[in-house]
Amino acid sequence: MTTDIKKHEEPGSMPTATSTLAPHSDVPTGHKTEPGRAGGGLFDPKQLVKSFPDAVRKLDPRVMVKSPVMFVVEIGSVLTTVLALKDPGDWFGWAITAWLWLTTIFANLAEAVAEGRGKAQADTLRKAKTDTVARRLAKDGKSEEQVPGTELRIGDLVVCEAGDIIPGDGDVVEGVASVDESAITGESAPVIRESGGDRSAVTGGTKVLSDRIVIKITTKPGETFIDRMIGLVEGAARQKTPNEIALNILLASLTIVFLLAVVTLQPFAIYAGAKQSMIVLIALLVCLIPTTIGALLSAIGIAGMDRLVQRNVLAMSGRAVEAAGDVSTLLLDKTGTITLGNRQAAEFVPVKGTTEAELADAAQLSSLADETPEGRSIVVLAKEKYGLRERHQGELAHAEWVAFTAQTRMSGVDLSENLEARKVRKGATGSVIAWVTERGGTVAEDAQTLTDAISQAGGTPLLAAVEDDKGARVLGVIHLKDVVKEGMRERFDELRRMGIRTVMITGDNPLTAKAIAEEAGVDDFLAEATPEDKMALIKREQAGGKLVAMTGDGTNDAPALAQADVGVAMNTGTSAAKEAGNMVDLDSNPTKLIEIVEIGKQLLITRGALTTFSIANDVAKYFAIIPAMFAVAYPGLDKLNIMGLASPESAILSAVVFNALIIIALVPLALKGVRYRPMSADKMLRRNLGIYGLGGLVAPFIGIKIIDLLISSIPGIG
């Protein structure tokens, strides 16, 4: 009995053509090297030595004034130096002076080390930036002229062939070629760049490995991605973010408050008969103001940008990195981000009267001439799941192969008499049904039910059929599905614990989109999405006070990338997309958006943790200095000397020494960042208060006591 089956022909179930080049993918397959990654760990002693001259140069008041807290420390260092020179025999004055200068230099050293790591990356990037001679096409589009790469202008057309260095950033407008981008991305596997579509962008300084392409220049000389990366990693292009500026204002306010407190303290001291020297008052001020976070704030910001660069992400501004840490909604493309991108054969479902082995054999035979990813996956599934040996076209020399075409939407093979004469076909349901019915064959009654079930599950059904001495008939259904990347559900669970809502964007119909969304574990999905739909979704989220991040690579993604708070454009994408976004992923890995959010959160957490530690530090130092200053006038204050410090001079000096050493001790943490764990905001606050708040209170008591014991053991001091 012949049953009429609906044609489940979904657009793109099989690509219309395959590349003649080697198999290519922008998913990293080769050896990965991180360009410019400074060696020697986070706190390389060689890097300290290299950065020390820069730290000294940063003592310039015009530089120091940018950090109000450390500028006050520098002024205090100058004043104590003058006072020490007036009384050369005062060992206490010289000791305080020396440690105040060290405090200032250590603060500069933290920033210099962070910048030094960036300069090491910049040196490597400069090696990739070479002066090239470009083959510019004349206006007639045929003749060529050789010009220096520095003379190229936006809109110029240049020709590059195998072995040529691409002279500037642009889009491929003609041809297809294999390109080595290892100098930029650190990825040794070459990538394919071709005209049209979303893989047309090329970067200046990369090398063409094969074929011939014509490139339209899209950037001015000196404004290429390499130039922008060099400026970024050196810190020259880094501007302070809004949160960083706000924190600087808070630190400046606290400094003013403590300055007024110390200034007004002297009249009370004089009245009590315990006048304090200017050196002691300066030491008190330096210990009470938040010098720790003031010294490390810039290094934290630079290190955050550095971590992005190490992952081959170019951020156009520090604001984007900070916004990534506050993101509450992630928009993720389904294809290539959540799924592998190519549908894969998942199972063979035979109709009644047919065995799985028979269906698998027919499916494999009919797919040998199908070079699409779907066709190759069918051959592999038959081999791995059903134990069929993978056969090749060459083994069946007398067979007639039927290659897949967009017109027939089928592939197959006609086997000759001596090879058990039969014809096997596999393809879109409508095409296979038409082939069977033309030969007077039958379509099993349950074929309709099977194809409907696969479609409702979000998959793509392909039919397999055979014509032999029993006649033409459908053997069963091949289930193709968009395979969700391994570990994506766990990643989305982490994001959910972080309080981030995930939305999958896809052009699929709602039924398919729902099935993929449920399997992947995303919170929501937008099916049959158009550029206008993406924009509307972003605006709705932002209207609710949420920050939105998304990835994109096509010109149609540009409006949404520009609207999003964090827009990550793929380096393989079009120039329009890269100009619209505020970040560019040089590896073109859409899943990296999740890492970018984690880096942003780590930056904010590190800043908050060290701010908590710094303020808690000041409380402990108060218990060291105040009792020492007034113990003579008010003996009762000696009860506050809970550390049992040896003498007033030793107590004050110990606090100043600890204040300097804690900065250098925290530099590795500022550079590496506080480890981020997905958790709610209130849990994170409690964790930070418990570790860095309590740690900031306890550490000074222990540290100052140890330093006091060492100082008091020195003859003539204790």
Find out whether 409 is annotated in a ligand binding site: yes
Residue 411 corresponds to which tokens in the numbers above? Answer: 């592939």
Please determine, for residue 345, whether its predicted confidence score (pLDDT) is greater than 80: yes
pLDDT band at 342 (very low <50, low <70, confident <90, very high): low
> For residue range 394-425, what is the model confidence (pLDDT) as tens digits?
556 677 888 877 677 788 888 875 556 788 99
pLDDT category, 508, cuts 50, 70, 90? confident
For the segment 319-343, the average pLDDT, to the nearest whole number, is: 80
> Which helix (H) or strand (E) is 563 found in, with range?
helix 558-563
371 is in an annotated binding site: no
pLDDT-derived band at 78, boundaries 50, 70, 90: very high
> Does the pLDDT value for residue 523 go beyond 80?
yes
Residue 406 assigned as binding residue: yes
Residue 583 falls in which region: left (phi positive, over 0), alpha (psi -120 to 50) or beta: beta
Model's pTM, two decimal places? 0.65
pLDDT of the residue at 35: 39
**Residue 640: per-residue pLDDT:** 77
Average pLDDT of the residues in 191-214? 82
Q: What is the DSSP string of 347-389?
A: EEEEPTT--HHHHHHHHHHHHTT--SHHHHHHHHHHHHHH-PP
| C-alpha to C-alpha distance for 588 and 573, rounded to whole angstroms | 8
563 is in an annotated binding site: no
Class of domain 133-167+169-218: mainly beta
State the average pLDDT for the chain.
80
Task: From the options 3.40.309.10, 3.40.50.720, 3.40.140.10, 3.40.1110.10, give the CATH code of 341-483.
Answer: 3.40.1110.10
Query: What's residue 80's pLDDT?
Result: 95
CATH superfamily, with its number, for domain 313-338+487-506+520-586: HAD superfamily/HAD-like (3.40.50.1000)
Confidence class for position 30, pLDDT limits 50, 70, 90 = very low
Ramachandran sector of residue 38 (left: φ over 0; alpha: ψ -120 to 50; beta: rest): beta
Q: pLDDT (tens digit, 9 = 90+) per residue, 146-198?
A: 888 878 888 899 999 988 888 888 889 888 888 887 766 655 567 788 887 66
CA distance 596 to 493: 17
Instruction: Give the CA diameter of the chain.
Output: 119
- Please state, in angstroms and rounded to a whole number, the distance separating the CA atoms of residues 56 and 59: 5
Q: Is 3 annotated as a binding residue?
A: no
- Would you say 404 is a known binding-site residue? yes
Query: Is the CB of residue 165 less than 8 Å from the CB of residue 130?
Result: yes
Q: Using the predicted structure, report yes or no on whether residue 16 has a pLDDT greater than 60.
A: no
Q: Give dist(CA 203, CA 170) in Å, integer.
A: 7
Whether the per-residue pLDDT at 24 is higher than 50: the answer is no
Residue 269 is encoded by which pair of tokens? 């001291």
Q: What is the mean pLDDT of residues 467-485?
A: 85
Asked whether residue 613 is marked as a ligand-binding residue, the answer is no
Long-range contacts of 249-258 (CB under 8 A, 24+ apart): 251/68, 251/69, 251/289, 251/290, 251/293, 251/294, 251/297, 252/68, 252/69, 254/289, 254/290, 255/68, 255/69, 255/72, 255/289, 255/290, 255/294, 258/285, 258/288, 258/289
Confidence of residue 490 (pLDDT cuts 50, 70, 90): confident
Q: Which residue has the higher pLDDT, 458 or 207?
A: 207
By C-alpha distance, which of 436, 427, 434 is closest to 464?
427
Burial 11-49 (b: 16+ CB within 10 A, else e): eebbeeeeeeeeebebeeeeeeeebbebeeebebeebbe
524 assigned ligand-binding residue: no
Convert the pLDDT of each residue in 554-565 to its tens digit: 777 788 888 888
Compute the distance between CA of residue 330 and CA of residue 549 in angstroms, rounded to an integer.
5
For residue 688, give every residue at least 6 positions away whose Cβ sits within 8 Å of its Cβ, in sequence order, or none: 605, 608, 609, 612
Question: Which 8-state DSSP code applies to residue 678?
Answer: -
555 marked ligand binding residue: no
37 annotated among ligand-binding-site residues: no
DSSP code at position 442: B
Q: What is the rounded distance in angstroms from the CA atom of residue 668 to the CA atom of residue 110? A: 9
Return all residues near 523 (Cβ < 8 A) that are at least 6 apart. 492, 496, 501, 502, 503
The active-site residue, picked from 171, 227, 306, 333, is 333
Q: What residues contact residue 535 under an 8 Å CB cut-off, 6+ apart? A: 559, 560, 563
Q: 676 Cβ partners below 8 Å, 6+ apart?
A: 598, 601, 602, 605
Query: Tens digit of pLDDT for each residue in 106-123?
Result: 998 888 877 776 666 666
Identify the pLDDT of residue 81.
95
Q: Which residue has the tokens 């990643």?
A: 491
Contact partners, residue 269, CB within 8 Å, separation at least 6: 275, 276, 629, 630, 633
Q: What pLDDT does residue 168 have?
A: 85
557 known member of a binding site: yes
Query: What is the pLDDT averaged over residues 5-25?
Result: 32
Q: Using pLDDT thresholds of 50, 70 and 90, give the confidence band for residue 38.
A: very low
- What per-residue confidence (pLDDT) applies to 33? 39
pLDDT score of 73 = 94
- Rounded-to-integer distance, Cα 266 and Cα 276, Å: 7
**Cα-to-chain-centroid distance, residue 178:** 25
Asked whether the beta carbons of 558 and 580 are under 8 A apart, the reply is yes
410 is in an annotated binding site: yes
**Residues of the chain with pLDDT > 70: what percent?**
84
pLDDT band, very low/low/confident/very high, at 713 (cuts 50, 70, 90)? confident
Residue ranges per domain, the chain? 45-117+234-306+599-713, 133-167+169-218, 313-338+487-506+520-586, 341-483
Catalytic residue list contains 54 = no
DSSP 8-state class, residue 692: I
684 annotated as ligand-binding: no
- Residue 159: CB atoms within 10 A of its CB come to 17
pLDDT of residue 34: 41
What does the pLDDT look like over 634-677, one tens digit per residue?
Answer: 777 777 777 888 788 888 899 999 999 999 899 888 888 888 77
**Residue burial 688-714, b: 16+ Cβ < 10 Å; e: rest:** beeebbebbbebbbebbbebbeebbee
Helix, strand and coil percent figures for the chain, each rounded to 5: 50, 15, 30
